[in-house]
Amino acid sequence: MKPSVEIPHEIMHALGLQHTFKKGEKHIFEVGKTDNYLDYNNNKINTFTWQWQLLH
């Protein structure tokens, strides 16, 4: 477990955000193909603008 990756990932889930590859979502990406915190990838370093828009 890498706290610098897992903690933001879980906080985003707690805020109501889903994985970037969940079927039925408006924006869907292939698993492991983005560097988004809500993807399953080792290089999690960012979020997408639309994820923040969902929180407002």
pLDDT in 10s for each residue of the chain, 56 residues: 688 888 999 999 999 998 888 887 777 888 988 998 999 877 888 998 988 898 88
Question: Which domain covers residue 13, as residue numbers?
Answer: 3-55
C-alpha dihedral, 38 to 55 to 7 to 45, nearest 10°: 50
| CA distances from residue 20 to 14, 35, 52 in whole angstroms, order as listed | 15, 10, 13
Domain count, the chain: 1
Q: How far apart are CA 44 and CA 6, in angstroms?
A: 9
pLDDT score, position 20: 86
Q: What is residue 22's predicted lDDT score, i.e. its pLDDT?
A: 80
pTM: 0.75
Are 20 and 34 contacting, i.e. CB atoms less than 8 angstroms apart? yes
pLDDT at 15: 94
Per-residue confidence (pLDDT) for residue 13, from 0 to 100: 94
